[in-house]
Amino acid sequence: MTSLIDPRLERLYRYWLSIKNNRHMPTKADLDLRQISSNLPSLFLIEWDPDDIVFRWRLTGTSLYTLWGRELLASPVVDLWEPGQRHEVDRTLHRARTAFQPFCMRLRGQNDEARELGLEMLTVPMLDTSSTNILIFGGLVSCTFPYWLEHHHLQSLSTWETIALDSSDADRQNIPKVPITPVSAPQMHEVKIH
C-alpha cells in the first residue's frame, strides 16, 4: 500500500512501477494505454519549456477539461495554483524531473463561489521517446463530482500535502509509506478525500 488514497492513482502508480523495471524511469514508448484505459480521462503529460523556463501541459485528459472548463494544453502548469504556492509546486515538479522522484499531492480546488473540491495528483518521471527530455507523467483525480462543477469550474488550486513516494524496486508488492512533507499548508475547511 502506498500513500496514495485514490485507487485509480494507486493502479496508475503500480503500472508505472511495473514498466519502470530497474531503471530510474520508463520511456513513453513503454506505455500501453490499453493497460490503464480506465485512467485515460485523468492522465496528463507535463514538459519543461527551457525557453520560457516553465512547466507546460503537453497532454491532458478530458477530466482536466471538465474540472477547469477550458483547454489547458501549452499553458503553464503552476498557473492553476494560488500565487503564493506556485514556487513550491514548481520545485516539486523539478524534483520529479531531475531527481526522478514520484510525488503524490493532495489538493484543494476552489471555484469562483468559494466552493471546494478535494483532489489528488500523482506525478512520476518518464523519458520522452523522441529525445532525452524528461517528462512528468501522471494523473489528477477529484474525490467527488459535485453538481456545481458543470457551471462553476475550478479557478485555483492549493496544495495541502506533498508526499514523496518510494519508487525502489526492492519490494513492489509492499511499498512502505514515506514521511509526509507538508507544503505551504493553507488554512482549510474540512475536505474529505475518499
CATH topology of domain 7-181: Beta-Lactamase (3.30.450)
Q: What whole-number percentage of the chain has pLDDT above 90?
A: 77
Please provide the distance, in angstroms rounded to a whole number, between the alpha carbons at the two ends of the chain. Answer: 15
Q: Rounded to whole angstroms, what are the CA distances from 45 to 61, 123, 125?
A: 9, 9, 10
Q: What share of the chain is helix, strand, coil (3-state, %, to 5)?
A: 30, 30, 40
Give per-residue pLDDT as tens, 27-78. 999 999 999 999 999 999 999 999 999 999 999 999 999 999 999 999 999 9
Q: Are 172 and 17 in contact (CB under 8 A)?
A: yes
| pTM for this prediction | 0.85
**Spatial distance between the Cα atoms of 39 and 69, rounded to a whole number of angstroms:** 19
Per-residue pLDDT tens digits for 153-191: 999 999 999 999 988 753 334 333 333 233 333 322 233
String of DSSP letters for 113-170: T--EEEEEEEEEEEE-TTSSPEEEEEEEEES---GGGGTS-EEEEEEEEEEEPP--ST
CB atoms within 10 A of CB 118: 21
CA distance 83 to 5: 26
Where residue 2 falls among pLDDT bands split at 50, 70, 90? low
pLDDT digits (tens, 9 = 90+) for 87-111: 999 999 999 999 999 999 999 999 9
Average pLDDT on 133-141 reads 97
Give the separation between CA 18 and CA 157, rounded to whole angstroms: 30
What is the SS3 assignment for 80?
helix
